Amino acid sequence: MKKFSVISVTLLLAAFCGYGQGISILYDQQSSTNSGYYGYGGGPLFTEMAPNTGQSFTPSLSGIDFIRLSIADGNPGDGLGSTWFLNLRPDSVTGPILGTTATVYLPDLHAGAVDFFFPNTIPLTPGISYFFDINSPDGGAWNIFVAQFNYSGGDAWAEDIVRLGSDYWFREGLVVPEPSSVALLLLGGAAFISLRRPKRQ
């Protein structure tokens, strides 16, 4: 019985690994939720905050896959887009780079949440402060939403200066594979067989 249970669990884990049908987002730290912070003109212009502008945060999870920011075109209709990426750093907003997200292109008129994904999960130490800095090689008139969100795990930084009491609107966390219906059927089948198997005398 015990041997069969181990085999069932092994098959179950293989099913979950092999038949993931999608992903879900596991949020860790955030200054606010998704609601109500999008639109033109939110926050100061990026060019007024750069260089070395970003946010400190204190993770409770042991890894990070993405960071989400709220970015809006401050001069909509000019026909100009902009490219963006983030660096993750320990110690300070100018510390050594632990990882860099993929570059994201934002078209003219964009306003809203932007997900920046790291190529691989970056290990973190829970309870230790980390920093991400915000970069746009082509700059332009763009707003990154910053306000007094009262996030207790960090603060916004601009021009190497901490902005106590202010935070960028951000969310960060992990990407988690979701099991498919096939995996769930295998789970139910394994459980049914385990329960139906007669005990040895």
111: domain CATH number is 2.60.120
Which residues are registered as beta bridge partners of 82?
A: 106
**Structural domain count, the chain:** 2
Kindly state whether residues 96 and 123 are assigned to the same domain. Answer: yes
| E strand intervals along the chain | 22-30, 54-57, 63-73, 82-90, 99-100, 104-106, 111-123, 130-135, 142-144, 146-147, 156-158, 161-163, 167-168, 170-178
Kindly state whether residues 12 and 39 are assigned to the same domain. Answer: no
Q: Give the Cα separation of 115 and 102 in Å (integer).
A: 10
Which residues are registered as beta bridge partners of 114?
A: 69
Kindly state whether residues 12 and 62 are assigned to the same domain. Answer: no
Kindly state whether residues 98 and 34 are assigned to the same domain. Answer: yes
Task: Per residue of the chain (201 residues), give pLDDT as tens.
Answer: 444 454 444 444 444 444 445 789 999 999 998 766 655 556 788 988 888 999 999 999 999 999 999 999 999 999 999 999 999 999 999 999 999 999 999 999 999 899 999 999 999 999 999 999 999 998 789 999 998 999 999 999 998 899 999 999 999 999 998 775 444 455 455 555 555 555 555
Would you state the pLDDT for residue 37?
61
Q: Find the domain containing 67 and state its range.
A: 22-176
Kindly state whether residues 197 and 167 are assigned to the same domain. Answer: no
Q: Give the Cα separation of 42 and 128 in Å (integer).
A: 30
Distances (CA, A) of 25 to 14, 19, 39, 68: 22, 18, 24, 11
β-pairing verdict for 99-100 and 82-90? antiparallel
Kindly state whether residues 168 and 126 are assigned to the same domain. Answer: yes
Kindly state whether residues 199 and 170 are assigned to the same domain. Answer: no
pTM (predicted TM-score): 0.78
Q: Give the Cα separation of 149 and 137 in Å (integer).
A: 28
Kindly state whether residues 135 and 184 are assigned to the same domain. Answer: no
Kindly state whether residues 68 and 120 are assigned to the same domain. Answer: yes
Kindly state whether residues 60 and 9 are assigned to the same domain. Answer: no
Q: Give the Cα separation of 24 and 46 in Å (integer).
A: 30
Kindly state whether residues 121 and 32 are assigned to the same domain. Answer: yes
Question: What does the longest C-alpha to C-alpha distance in the chain come to?
Answer: 81
Kindly state whether residues 137 and 94 are assigned to the same domain. Answer: yes
Q: For residue 179, give the 3-state DSSP assignment.
A: coil
